[in-house]
Structure 1
Amino acid sequence: MTWRPRLIALDIDGTLTRTGEEAVAPAVRAAIHRAVDRGAHVVLSTGRSLIGTRPVVDDLRLLGTTAICSNGAVWWDTTSREVTRKVGFDAGPAVAALRELFPGAVFATEVTGEGSLSLGRFPDGDLWGVVREVDAAELTAEPTSRLVMRWVGRTPDEVALRMLDVELPGVTWSVDHTEPWLTVSPSGVTKGAALEELRRILDVPAADTLAIGDGHNDVEMLRWAAHGVAMGQAPATVRAAADAVTGTVLEDGAALELDRWFAA
């Protein structure tokens, strides 16, 4: 019998959409619908906040599933449209350490389902929802599920280089490969850990899992899957963590991979 995945985890930015965009390419949308129609459980697994994830869920008309947002810290039921799980952390120590390492950087903490609090002004389009500028004390006064930092005017490589050998106690972090952007999550929270828990809840065999992604925050997810697939434009370290490499996001690489298992 030909293998066919029963649980499919899909990153959004750089996988389903070009980074920061909400529209999914027609070929990718059609491939996802074919997988759903043939019984696969499709899960969007993204570093985006919930408010940035919802438009993509709605664009794809995904019902009866869970969206894993903020790198696994927030779970959202796409049918009831309710948050079913949220893990928070104290961002204060991380913000203090990062402000020392990255002079001039701007920071934002997620207000789940609403927007963000920001310390400094982010470029237009960086943050979804209502953004309210605050001071450092208010930024970290309440636990958050997601802390992001942009080092304005710098490159992703500069951020990654400065984070070499840096330990931020009590949190998990990743550096974006396309923007000078750092994302901080609660300790132990990753896409891979969240998907493994969801897999057990859904009672899907580990051997029947597929994941597609392109970023450093997708590495755990690609290793988790029985068949992990990196997008063609993914950095070498991400491709090394995958079992296979598909086309780039501009080539509708996610559709190319899904069509291997759910051909038209």
Structure 2
Amino acid sequence: MANNSKGFLLAVDIDGTLLTHDHRLLPQVREAVRHARRHGIQLALVSARSVNAVRTVLNMLGDVDHAICFGGALTMSMEGGALLMRPAAKRSHLCPADVAKVLAFARKYDLALAAYSADVARVPTPDDRMRQEFSQTQEPFEFAAVSAQDPVFKFLAISHAANADDLDRLGADLSPDLSAVRSHRTYLEIGPQGVSKGRALTDLAVDLGLDLENAVAVGDSNNDASMLRAVGHPVAMGDATTEIRQLAKLITATAAEGGVARAIDHFAKALWRIPPSRAEQEVKAGWVS
């Protein structure tokens, strides 16, 4: 399908980007996102969250055009008033041998672990770290055994704070068929190699006939890096990691300061040529040299 240079795609990470770090959606962010969609900008939420955890965000935000879940393993698109799911990668599940390897890996390094299927997250060993995670994301989970034969889109491993600096080294201990990316200081997202936010976003743009050189992507954590590399207009939140800030052409405010709303107002004028969502909004974000 030929690219349509007149179409625009806005890709937004959820936690620490669309939502504040205490999981609130600010009114000005909700209005800015809705304003962009009303003017024809296609919105894709791009997250490591599961399908159910993304749906809790939709309850706050309203409809979106697309949602990429599990860090790129599954894409949902709005069709006929409903979000329909489809795998976003040729290999979207972990193979049984890799599921077994991750389970052993978590036991070896005392990591809290959750295995995500399309409809539920399973936690093989009860742990307060996981209880806290799921209370924040408001998604269903169960304490249940995980089998190597289970269809797993991704694992979330959470370390103790004192061991957080070891996560990168621990991730390197996994199979070359696996991808391990930190989404938070103590969080390691584990999925099939080749599955990433950037890959899924690229495939989505091809399906839509949109040029990613005209796309905007906003993120704050290292698991957003592939997404920012994929687009022509990468944006970092004000408190983003060093890697994300270095990739960005625009650094906006923090999530608590409504950074996504400020970025949308910037591109409304600079790229999309649509009215600002709030008259005379002062955009404090600045281009990175």
SS at 1:144's partner residue?
coil
Alignment of 1:203-242 (within 5 A): 203-242=209-248
Q: Structure 1 residues 208, 147: closer, same or farther in 2, change over 3 A?
A: same
Map 1:91-106 → 2, pairs under 5 A: 91-100=99-108, 102=109, 104-106=110-112
**Equivalent residue for 1:163, pick from 161, 170, 191:** 170
Q: After TM superposition, give the deviation of residue 45 of structure 1 in Å.
A: 0.3
Equivalent residue number for residue 177 of structure 1: 184
Q: Which residue of 1 aligns with 2:153?
A: 145
- What's the CA shift for 1:165? 4.5
1:147–1:222: structure 2 CA closer, same or farther, 3 Å change rule?
same
Q: TM-score, normalised by structure 1?
A: 0.88
Matched to 2:157, the amino acid is: M
Q: Is the 8 A contact 2:11 2:43 kept in 1?
A: yes
**SS of the residue 1:126 aligns to:** helix
1:5 and 1:245 mapped to 2: Cα distance?
Answer: 23
**In the TM superposition, what is the alpha-carbon distance from 1:185 to its structure 2 partner?**
1.4
- Residue 118 of structure 1 corresponds to 123
Query: How far apart are 1:164 and its partner, in Å?
Result: 6.8
Q: 2:83 maps to which residue?
A: 81
* Corresponding residue for residue 18 of structure 1: 20
Residue 202 of structure 1 corresponds to which residue in structure 2? 208
SS across alignment from 1:93? helix
- SS in structure 2 of the partner of residue 204 of structure 1: coil
The two structures, once aligned, show a CA RMSD in angstroms of: 2.2
Letter matched to residue 112 of structure 2: V
Query: Across the two proteins, how many residue pairs are aligned to each other?
Result: 253
Q: CA deviation at 1:192?
A: 0.3
- Name the structure 1 match of 2:264: 258
Residue 286 of structure 2 is matched in structure 1 by none
CA-to-aligned-CA distance 1:10-43 (integer Å, 9 cap, x gap): 000000112462x411111111111111111000
Summarize deviations over 1:212-247 as a string: whole Å, max 9, x none. 000111000001011000111111111112222111
**SS of match in other structure, 2:184:** coil
User: Whole-Å Cα distance in 2 between the matches of residues 165 and 70 of structure 1?
Assistant: 20
1:118–1:139 CA contact under 8 A, matched in 2: no
Name the SS for the 1:16 alignment partner. Answer: coil
Poorly superposed stretches of 4+, deviation over 6 Å: none
Give the counterpart letter for 1:197 in structure 2: D
Identity %: 26
Cα shift at 1:92: 1.6
Runs of 5+ consecutive residues of structure 2 not aligned to the other structure:
269-275, 278-289
CA distance in 2, matches of 1:76, 1:48: 13
| Separation in 2, partners of 1:234, 1:25 | 18
Q: Which moved more, 1:213-222 or 1:166-175?
A: 166-175
Matched with 1:134 is: 144
Structure 1, unpaired ranges of 5+: none
